Amino acid sequence: MSVNILDTSQNRGRVDLLVIQLLRDTGIIREISIGTMEFRMAVQKFVYLLQVVGGLDLGFKFEWLSMGPYSKGLQNYYQRISKALASNLENNVVEFSVLEWVALEAVKKLLFNVKEQMGRLDVKVLEIVASLIMLCRDVYPKPQDPVEELVLRKKLLREDVLKIWSVIDRFGICI
């Protein structure tokens, strides 16, 4: 059989399950409506965090765009995740591999610490977390001060960004 979508579709098959788990466990599911722009943003940032913070190789390549890390490949998954959420599949018990559990726990640990620091965890905060991590790890040339770069670029409150940065810094995510 020839090499095409039938082969590559297998590798990323569990992305939807992982994202649904994070949506549920972090409580972000309650902040968004399925299928909206915020929903898509949450999917994008969760997968980025699963790869970078969780160390899970899901094979998505992320670009640095005005709204932070973005992978075109994830456009194929919005509908799958929406469908699964809509059909209440999110309540099903899913068995994850050890690596997947480790990744989920690492992302949750980071986000819960951010929530504690900020007093909230919504899609906007998620965007700042993922953007700061991308700025300090993947963007080239690396900006001297990721906080300043993000504050200037997105006209955010410096205080908020600094709070989130302090958590990221503590976790030693930036290399």
Binding mask 68-97 for another protein (x = CB under 8 A): --x-x--xx--xx-----------------
CB 34 within 8 Å of CB 86: yes
Give CA–CA dist 40/140, Å, rounded: 25
Give CA–CA dist 3/91, Å, rounded: 35
Residues 102-131 that bind another protein (CB under 8 A): none
C-alpha distances out from residue 144 to 13, 58, 137, 158, 171, Å:
38, 29, 12, 16, 19
Rounded (5°) CA angle 55-86-121: 50
Binding mask 17-46 for another protein (x = CB under 8 A): --------------------x--xx-----
Minimum distance from CB of 149 to another protein (Å)?
Answer: 8
Determine if 59 is a binding residue for another protein (CB under 8 A).
yes
Determine if 170 is a binding residue for another protein (CB under 8 A).
no
Residues 126-165 that bind another protein (CB under 8 A): 138-143, 149, 153
Cβ-based nearer residue to another protein, 62 or 165: 62
> Is the peptide bond between 141 and the residue preceding it cis, with omega within 30 degrees of 0?
yes
Residues in the site for another protein, rule: CB under 8 A?
1-9, 37, 40-41, 59, 61-67, 70, 72, 75-76, 79-80, 138-143, 149, 153
